Structure 1
């Protein structure tokens, strides 16, 4: 009997045991990652005051997390496929704890940068480790739904980074807050390492007959090339906005005071959390009707662009509405990672997810730092930047997202164009028969099967 057959004959853990010993520990790790990602919006005013930071330095401090996080995706993906998520995630979270300790004791801007980079490295595998565990232990048809639950619970970190964090800041200060985060990170690392079961198949790369999955093969896959720019542009931009610039917009453009800003950021985070679950459930239901996840991703991308345009053009709407859509766009990872799971074998799921996540966080770094650079071109008045500065910065980001959306839709645009040409340019045939079809022209479909989108 082969090893694979022996593994397949081992009884699978019950559903509730999987949830308690596999799903929830990794969800806790992703919760910490989301908390560390979005906490800068709450602590930036205090940091700017204590260290005398300008808009560009605040943007750099927040975005260095995304830069290191993104650069770590590929090697972490390889380690996750080789060693399994339990060991990799447990070790990485210890690094995050060290970064949190250094951040809380920093006395200069360079120390803050190094600490923030360590935190980014330490939590860089949180989502991928959870996704790897979901792909490994749960049925493929439930991946999108479980991803939705994972991101919903993890995004509660964004909720924690609003009103609860503001309350703690007023009570114990930002340095003591990072002491608490250090302890919490060590606890989660220990739980993951001790209670998550090991699965023999987790650390197998595959049989020698299988073609190894390389970074080049992922980035050259035509399906990946179609989805990745849209996913990176929308998700990365959403993360950059919610984790820093949404709070600045609400203060400088909307004129919110601290209490109003914290209240709206809290509501946005709640919308993000439940939006992730809703998107995952919707994707799960649409798959049952043979509607591909990528279609829903494109729809969310379009709504995301519209929401930002409403902000830029100052459409007379409650700002919570467009900002809620901006938040929900950050949960589109539910869709893009579910799509990637269909493209590549699950033995290489972490590597493929890492390749996509590299683009997500690379884009988030560029947008978050780039907005700071653009906004900084305008002089501030009493620490506030003018509306035109934010409109220009946000507008450049929207232009790139629109280009990515058009690129994603090119197969449909091409097919539609061919259909119109076929409909209007073909000369009429006698007796209503279309050339080569044997059917009346009015019965022949405009879109032929050969013109369909190849995913």
Structure 2
């Protein structure tokens, strides 16, 4: 069963992440062809994140009422449509619409998998299996670096998105035909009751105390992996496209390893009474440290620090497993999608917001912004994470005092 359950969802999530981060590689082509500035490029790229986020709450309700395979398979067809719209765009508006449709289409790739796993597998296996699922996303990031750069040497970005549309249709067929069925326990509930239970999830201490730090780090990580890492490497560090792709590849490989290793570590430590959130928060602290080193240029070992950033930038996703284990199974879908909604809203705001901040400085004749613009934007993003950390520490201390 695990083979039929995991592989289709993993392939769908691979495509989801490839769609999310492929703009890192094709951004120079889009800027040249459509004359986009940093603000516009950030908005076009983050349209995926906005529509993805808006889908999360209704998606949670759907996943708790219908089988994951049905929901995910139907939405993947919308992703295929969006990919075709993006590939045929002749203006920034067309790019925006295409990215928005793609965001809707892949919005269930991770949450549908997590919900199916929670309903079909023992709870103690969730951190590891969730980590393997996320590893498939890491492979999508890897594919968006050097492999996509190689593809672009003989094809163009339009052909790339046409191929991804075909792959999305294939993923839809595989998810619907191979994923095992499971019983839905909330079929008899009305929408009003489901929404009431959703509110109970969001206002529970385990959610509002743990979610902000996970949301902040995942949101910033998503913004940089999805777009701004390439700008930083090419413009701030003045590296070539090949050198930038190699560092992004290092980050992507580290990210893939982080999903698996940290998931395995969290599952292993649970046997000794250590909750997944302990591993998660510890990893997020290392992620913040790596950002501080990169921003301040304390080290020229770019592969090392970007690799650490990629590895520990995945730490926030362990909160999904922790929160899934803290609620009844019929609330898992809404719990995961509530957290995912917050993550992608912040990722959207960061990806677009960083572009707005960078655009406050004038670009030179080559369209390159000054180093101060990028450093200021990243300091702003790091400050958001520090505030979330302070919230977590405050609640941890306050809960003990009570």
Same fold, TM-score > 0.5, yes or no:
yes
1:316: how far off?
Answer: 2.3
SS, match of residue 274 in structure 2: coil
Correspondence for 2:357 among 356, 360, 374: 374
Alpha carbons 1:378, 1:385 under 8 Å: kept: yes
Alpha carbons 1:55, 1:373 under 8 Å: kept: yes
Correspondence for 2:276 among 285, 293, 301: 293
The higher relative CO (CA closer than 8 Å, separation ≥ 6) is in 2
1:207: how far off?
Answer: 8.1
| 2:394 corresponds to 1:398 | no
1:372: how far off?
Answer: 0.4
Higher mean displacement: 378-387 or 72-81: 378-387
Structure 1 Cα separation of the partners of residues 349 and 189 of structure 2: 39
Structure 1 equivalent of residue 34 of structure 2: 51
Correspondence for 1:169 among 146, 152, 156: 152
Structure 1 equivalent of residue 240 of structure 2: 257
Alpha carbons 1:81, 1:350 under 8 Å: kept: yes
1:333: how far off?
Answer: 4.7
Structure 1 equivalent of residue 168 of structure 2: 185
Correspondence for 2:230 among 233, 247, 250: 247
| 2:391 corresponds to 1:407 | yes
Structure 1 equivalent of residue 186 of structure 2: 204
Structure 1 Cα separation of the partners of residues 395 and 59 of structure 2: 33
Structure 2 Cα separation of the partners of residues 197 and 297 of structure 1: 30
CA offsets, 1:15-39, max 9 Å, x none?
xxx2221111111111110000000
Alpha carbons 2:202, 2:335 under 8 Å: kept: no
Structure 2 Cα separation of the partners of residues 256 and 345 of structure 1: 50
Structure 2 Cα separation of the partners of residues 370 and 39 of structure 1: 19
Write the mapping of 1:83-102 to structure 2, written as runs, cut at 5 A.
83-102=66-85
1:307: how far off?
Answer: 1.1
Structure 1 Cα separation of the partners of residues 256 and 119 of structure 2: 24
1:170: how far off?
Answer: 1.6
Structure 1 Cα separation of the partners of residues 367 and 15 of structure 2: 31
CA offsets, 1:118-140, max 9 Å, x none?
00000001000110111111100
Write the mapping of 1:28-427 to structure 2, written as runs, cut at 5 A.
28-199=11-182, 201-202=183-184, 204-205=186-187, 212=194, 214-381=197-364, 382-414=366-398
For normalisation by structure 1, the TM-score amounts to 0.85
Alpha carbons 1:205, 1:347 under 8 Å: kept: no
Gaps of 5+ in 2: none
1:204: how far off?
Answer: 3.5
Structure 2 Cα separation of the partners of residues 214 and 109 of structure 1: 40
Structure 1 Cα separation of the partners of residues 277 and 28 of structure 2: 39
Shift of the 333–130 alpha-carbon distance from structure 1 to 2, 3 Å rule, reads farther
Aligned length: 398
Structure 1 Cα separation of the partners of residues 346 and 303 of structure 2: 24
Structure 2 Cα separation of the partners of residues 332 and 82 of structure 1: 30
Alpha carbons 2:287, 2:312 under 8 Å: kept: yes
Alpha carbons 1:301, 1:405 under 8 Å: kept: no
Shift of the 105–310 alpha-carbon distance from structure 1 to 2, 3 Å rule, reads same
Alpha carbons 2:53, 2:341 under 8 Å: kept: yes
Structure 1 Cα separation of the partners of residues 78 and 7 of structure 2: 21
For normalisation by structure 2, the TM-score amounts to 0.95
Structure 1 Cα separation of the partners of residues 25 and 250 of structure 2: 14
SS, match of residue 291 in structure 1: coil
Q: RMSD of the TM alignment (CA)?
A: 1.7
Alpha carbons 1:205, 1:348 under 8 Å: kept: no
Which entry has the higher C-alpha Rg, 1 or 2? 1
Higher mean displacement: 274-283 or 307-316: 307-316
